[in-house]
Copies of this chain bind each other. A is one copy, B any other.
Amino acid sequence: MYDPVIGELVEELGRFPGVGPKSAQRIAYWVLDADAEEIEQLAKVLVEVKRRVKFCKVCGNVADDDLCRICRDENRDPTMICVVEESKDVIAIERTREFAGRYHVLGGAISPIDGIGPDDLRIHELLPRLADGQVREVIIATDPNLEGEATATYLTRLLADFDLEVTRPASGLPVGGDLEYADEVTLGRAMAARRSSAGKAGVE
């Protein structure tokens, strides 16, 4: 169908996540139309990111040095650690501007089916960070799915021996969603964790 020269490009682009054959074709023709310099810049950035990217020695987040931008930042609250599965979860939480502490990136979640156990995650690296007693709260923000819940349960048990608060983000109705379309687990949790409509405190 394609001339070989463009067929190879369509194939390469089609390996991107979320990019099907049609999108790959569209991007390939965009590349043909683009300035040569622009594409050389893109190619350079692609290769360079692979060369330059490191992972933070403390939290495991993507970094361009030994420490990531957040672990280097002395304005971040050193008493809170938010545990997430992946670096992209750090971005998602940073975007909310609700959390000023530091992170710990596990590099995945416990998943027996995929043969991923606790030892395959950066759980071992979390414990020394809690040793000096400076951290007062660990927020376990793993994905709200089977693997994420299993990981959260494991971590909660593991951290029970430490003198700190272990919390999880609230489950509930997504803002802007329709109540009738919420799945029953989400709606059930939202009902159980209902809050006083007058103040901000939860109904205990």
Partner among B23, B42, B51 whose Cβ is within 8 Å of the Cβ of A46? B42
Query: Given the complex of chains A and B, what is the CA–CA distance between A1 and B90 in angstroms?
Result: 9
Q: At the interface with chain B, which of A11-19, A75-83, A125-133, A174-182?
A: A11-19
Report the bound CA distance from A34 to B44 in whole Å. Answer: 16
Q: Are A45 and B12 in contact (CB under 8 A)?
A: yes
CB A43 to nearest CB in B, in angstroms, measures 4
Given contacts A25-B88, A29-B87, A53-B32, contact A46 B1 (CB under 8 A): no
Q: Decide: B16 and A27 in contact? CB cutoff 8 A.
A: yes
Query: Could you tell me the distance between the alpha carbons of A41 and B4 in the complex, rounded to whole angstroms?
Result: 16
Is A50 interfacial (CB 8 A cutoff)? yes
Decide: A1 near B32, CB < 8 A? Known: A17-B26, A43-B44, A50-B39. no
Q: Which residue of B lies closest to A86 (CB)?
A: B29
How many copies of the chain does the oligomer comprise? 2
Looking at the complex, which one of B13, B48, B49, B68 makes contact with A32 (CB distance below 8 Å)? B49
Contact A68 B3 (CB under 8 A): yes
Contact at B39–A47, with CB atoms within 8 Å? Answer: yes
* B16 pairs with A30, CB closer than 8 A: yes
Which partner residue on chain B sits nearest A91 by CB separation?
B1
Beyond A4-B64, A39-B50, 19 extra complex contacts between A and B, CB < 8 Å: A2-B91, A3-B63, A5-B52, A5-B64, A6-B53, A8-B45, A8-B49, A12-B41, A17-B26, A17-B30, A25-B91, A28-B49, A29-B88, A31-B46, A32-B62, A39-B47, A40-B50, A42-B46, A43-B46
- Report the 4 A-B pairs with minimum CB-CB distance, sorted nearest first: A43-B43, A5-B64, A43-B46, A36-B50
A/B interface sample: 22 pairs, CB < 8 A: A3-B61, A3-B62, A3-B68, A5-B52, A5-B53, A5-B63, A6-B62, A8-B45, A9-B45, A13-B42, A17-B26, A17-B27, A18-B27, A19-B23, A25-B88, A28-B49, A32-B49, A36-B51, A39-B46, A39-B50, A40-B50, A43-B43
